[in-house]
A and B are shown apart, each in its own frame.
Chain A
Amino acid sequence: AQSVTQLDSHVSVSEGTPVLLRCNYSSSYSPSLFWYVQHPNKGLQLLLKYTSAATLVKGINGFEAEFKKSETSFHLTKPSAHMSDAAEYFCVVTQTGANNLFFGTGTRLTVIP
């Protein structure tokens, strides 16, 4: 069975400081992992995805994530937070043979000026 756990429901950072959003996954087989972002009153936008290629994945808007199989983690990072990064972030997993995505409960990122 697949699942993801987002370890923080809310993260608050100051503008210009690093961002770390944590995600652990559980998957029986080789997973595909995604990070989506949802801005207020908007749909879900794909930030980046891992599908068994390079373990360090670069996404849009300066975000990246590292797949660590030994730690079953897929944490999202950004070196310097911007005010426009304030949003809800979802870690998502699927795997070969699965027909849908399994979402984490989300992490709300607040960026303080």
Chain B
Amino acid sequence: DTEVTQTPKHLVMGMTNKKSLKCEQHMGHRAMYWYKQKAKKPPELMFVYSYEKLSINESVPSRFSPECPNSSLLNLHLHALQPEDSALYLCASSQDSLNTEAFFGQGTRLTVV
């Protein structure tokens, strides 16, 4: 099973809302990632968690707040987003963070209005 599950699949939120994206994997992977993908662009790294600790934050604005409650779950809390934050948010996991296969979820299509 190489499945990474993301919920919700679609999300529309206002600029004053607070929402959360969720990601779950049961492959025993110890590294989890958030990527952002704009239309017709490659995925861009936002955050890396390794063994439930935040190891990389690619200078992401504080309106995006990641959380890793346990080794199977990854959340992305959203607050006071801008319309330009509308994108496909992808979660991925890998066995660890050192050059191993990364498996992606289907993504959450976020629209900020």
Whether A associates with B in a native complex is no
A residues apposed to B, CB below 8 Å: none
